[in-house]
């Protein structure tokens, strides 16, 4: 979808979007259009329950005195409700409400709002960003779609004062959207298309944006002693991979200022559960068990695309967890890169084994300011938090607070759960240094305790995104399907605290 910005004005044909504040108070442009139509907008408002509240909209079809197809009046709500996030949601709703417009174009009139700090240009950029996020579709394998089922909207034009600033702001936001779309594509692809080698190649494509990408194969990982990660993939004919991505947009020196921040992703491209095989019902969903890796790859695209002034490392461990003659068995003991041994009691608790080596490798090689890992790690987190929050576990209060705030700002919400010595004891093993499960209770917490054993004293946070990586319903800026949860959150974290001007 093409997005453009122009000076204030309204076209004479097609679909036009105007706004109203709480109390049905029309914006300046809406008032002019109302006069031009002989009061058609106010009559329609009086005949409806539209009150200008946020989330409300009203359509006036083919208003008299014009050649317009439709006028869509959208509610902004109260002044304190005109925020970046709400304007993004508004953009998503506008897209959803106009995507089947016959002419394929929409003009949005954006006026300044009294008592709101955001300028008309700022508001326009956020609306455009929200519309872009909502426009995502994954339909590349549908060969018999009827034209009426495809969106007709090809372009939107936002008319506002300060349109040059709006265009500049949207250029930056659009790069973040590109990262979100990249992640959604990767998560949506079937596992016969995305597997460790092909996912690594997708990450390799970021080199054209200036990201340095290194791909480790099994022989290299074996020499490094990554027995935990390699054990997960040994039952598959697909070779396991680790991808290391580096973006150096910050200081080039060797001091603390140049110390990178690091993001680590679980990339199980398909998870059968291995020998501890999952029930067949719903197993098709396990194509998105690489959602953590997908988010890290998309984040690196977003950061590089907008030329973030930060040094960032992204590391993803890529495996396929399959049963087979060479598959890892329950009861096997593996040695991780850290030298710690792990008794594998359940081969379906495999993501933590992948992350154990990925976290230790990242920490040992790059000595980052902090590490944040993302993983569709446990079904237990879905029982705890459903699909509305991701689980947050951390050894550092400041990092937790910054992550939580960033998540609230982009509506990728986190809820912190405890880490404690009592939970840690639950994964002690009689035969090895630890076991990979801790029993029936506190499954998400014991998984986090397991990961903590591989991060040392480095500030670290674990995001369990099992409940938020895929959505079965539409939201204003997130159509159903792959959500790319984590890309916007971590981009905001970097922007808020770790970029050097």
Q: pLDDT at position 211, please? A: 98
Q: pLDDT at position 102, please? A: 87
- What pLDDT, in 10s, does the model give residues 271-286? 999 999 999 999 999 9
CB 500 within 8 A of CB 310: yes
317: left (phi over 0), alpha (psi -120 to 50) or beta: beta
Place of tokens 């460790």: 196
Q: What are the residue ranges of helices labelled H in 225-323?
A: 227-233, 291-305
Domain ranges of the chain: 2-174, 194-497
CB 88 within 8 A of CB 412: no
Q: pLDDT at position 18, please? A: 98
**Mean pLDDT within 407-432:** 98
pLDDT band per the 50, 70, 90 thresholds, residue 409: very high
CB 361 within 8 A of CB 242: yes
pLDDT band per the 50, 70, 90 thresholds, residue 501: low
Distance (Å, whole) CA 213 – CA 262: 14
Distance (Å, whole) CA 126 – CA 132: 10
Max CA separation in the chain (angstroms): 83
Sequence-ordered strand ranges (E) for 41-98? 57-61, 67-77
Write down the catalytic residue from 93, 134, 301, 352. 352
Confidence check: pLDDT of 149 > 90: no
Q: CA separation (Å) from 461 to 148, 370, 387, 401?
A: 46, 8, 20, 11
Distance (Å, whole) CA 350 – CA 203: 22
Q: Kindly calculate the radius of gyration of the chain based on its CA atoms and give it in whole angstroms.
A: 25
**Mean pLDDT within 428-443:** 97
When mean pLDDT is compared across 7-11, 28-32, 128-132, 420-424, the lowest value belongs to: 7-11
Judge: domain 194-497, CATH 3.30.9.10.
no
Which 3-state string (H, E, C) describes 301-366?
HHHHHCCCCCEEEEEEEEEEECCCCCCCCCCEEEECCCCCEEEECCCCCCHHHHHHHHHHHHHHHH
Strand partners, 16: 71, 107
> Can you say whether the dihedral through the CA atoms of 126, 481, 297, 311 is positive or negative?
positive
- What pLDDT, in 10s, does the model give residues 197-245? 999 999 999 999 999 999 999 999 999 999 999 999 999 999 999 999 9
Q: CA separation (Å) from 172 to 54, 97, 112, 256, 409?
A: 26, 25, 22, 28, 17
Q: pLDDT higher for 74 or 150?
A: 74
The pTM score is 0.97
Between strands 57-61 and 212-216, the pairing is: unpaired
Rounded percentage of the chain residues whose pLDDT exceeds 90: 94
Q: pLDDT at position 145, please? A: 85
Burial grade of 23 (CB within 10 A; 0-12, 13-18, 19 or more): exposed
Confidence check: pLDDT of 253 > 80: no
Confidence check: pLDDT of 255 > 80: no
Based on the residue annotation, tell me whether 352 is a catalytic residue of this protein: yes
Give the rounded distance of the alpha carbon of 305 from its chain centre. Answer: 16
- What pLDDT, in 10s, does the model give residues 84-138? 999 999 999 999 999 999 899 999 999 999 999 999 999 999 999 999 999 999 9
pLDDT band per the 50, 70, 90 thresholds, residue 147: confident
Whole-number average pLDDT of the chain:
97
Give the rounded distance of the alpha carbon of 338 from its chain centre. Answer: 30
Confidence check: pLDDT of 144 > 80: yes
- What pLDDT, in 10s, does the model give residues 286-320? 999 999 999 999 999 999 999 999 999 999 999 99
CATH of span 2-174? 3.40.220.10
Cβ count near 474 (within 10 Å): 13
Distance (Å, whole) CA 340 – CA 359: 13
Q: Which of 102, 96, 100, 91 is nearest to 151 (CA)?
A: 100
Write down the catalytic residue from 278, 369, 405, 413. 278
Q: pLDDT at position 10, please? A: 83
> Can you say whether the dihedral through the CA atoms of 203, 209, 211, 214 is positive or negative?
positive
Per-residue tokens: 219 = 């022989």
CB 241 within 8 A of CB 197: yes
Q: pLDDT at position 420, please? A: 97
Distance (Å, whole) CA 444 – CA 450: 10
Based on the residue annotation, tell me whether 453 is a catalytic residue of this protein: no
Confidence check: pLDDT of 416 > 70: yes
Strand partners, 71: 16, 60
Sequence-ordered strand ranges (E) for 22-146? 25-26, 57-61, 67-77, 105-109
């Amino acid at each position: 979808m093409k997005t453009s910005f122009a000076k204030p004005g309204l076209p004479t044909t097609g679909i036009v979007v105007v706004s109203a504040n709480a109390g049905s108070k029309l914006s300046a442009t809406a008032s002019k259009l109302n006069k031009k139509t002989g009061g058609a907008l106010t009559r329609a408002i009086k005949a409806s329950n539209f009150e200008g509240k946020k989330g409300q909209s009203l359509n006036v079809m083919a208003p008299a005195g014009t050649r317009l197809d439709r006028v869509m009046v959208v509610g902004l709500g109260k002044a304190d409700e005109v925020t970046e996030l709400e304007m993004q949601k508004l953009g998503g709703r506008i897209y959803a409400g106009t995507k089947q417009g016959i002419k394929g174009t929409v003009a949005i009139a954006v006026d300044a709002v009294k008592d709101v700090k955001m300028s008309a240009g700022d508001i326009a950029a956020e609306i455009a960003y929200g519309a872009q996020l909502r426009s995502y579709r994954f339909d590349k394998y549908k060969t018999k779609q009827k034209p009426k089922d495809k969106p007709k909207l090809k372009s939107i034009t936002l008319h506002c004062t300060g349109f040059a600033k709006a265009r500049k702001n949207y250029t930056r936001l659009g790069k973040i959207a590109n990262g979100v779309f990249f992640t959604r594509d990767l998560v949506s692809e079937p596992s016969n298309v995305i597997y460790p080698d092909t996912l690594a190649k997708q990450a390799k494509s970021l080199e054209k944006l200036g990201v340095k990408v290194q791909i480790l194969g099994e022989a290299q990982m074996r020499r490094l002693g990554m027995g935990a990660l390699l054990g997960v993939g040994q039952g598959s004919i697909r070779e396991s991979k680790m991808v290391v991505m580096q973006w150096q947009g910050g200081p080039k020196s060797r001091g603390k200022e140049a110390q990178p921040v690091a993001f680590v992703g679980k990339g199980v491209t398909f998870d059968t559960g291995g020998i501890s095989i999952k029930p067949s019902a719903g197993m098709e969903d396990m194509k998105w068990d690489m959602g953590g890796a997908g988010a890290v790859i998309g984040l690196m695209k977003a950061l590089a695309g907008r030329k973030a002034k930060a040094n960032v490392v992204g590391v993803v461990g890529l495996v396929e967890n399959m049963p087979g003659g060479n598959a890892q068995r329950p009861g096997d003991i593996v040695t991780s890169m850290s030298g710690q041994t792990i008794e594998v009691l359940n081969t379906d608790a495999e993501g933590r084994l992948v992350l154990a080596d990925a976290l230790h490798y990242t920490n040992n090689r790059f000595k980052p300011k902090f590490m944040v890992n993302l993983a569709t790690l446990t079904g237990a987190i879905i029982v705890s938090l459903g699909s509305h929050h991701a689980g947050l576990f951390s050894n550092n209060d400041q990092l937790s607070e910054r992550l939580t705030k960033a998540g609230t700002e982009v509506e990728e919400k986190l809820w912190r759960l405890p880490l404690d010595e009592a939970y840690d004891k639950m994964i002690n093993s009689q035969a090895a240094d630890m076991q990979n499960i801790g029993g029936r209770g506190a499954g998400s917490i014991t998984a986090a305790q397991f990961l903590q054993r591989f991060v040392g004293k480095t500030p670290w946070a674990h995001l369990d995104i099992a409940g938020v990586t895929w959505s079965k319903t539409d939201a204003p800026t997130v159509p159903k399907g792959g959500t790319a949860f984590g890309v916007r959150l971590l981009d905001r974290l970097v922007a808020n605290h770790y970029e050097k001007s």
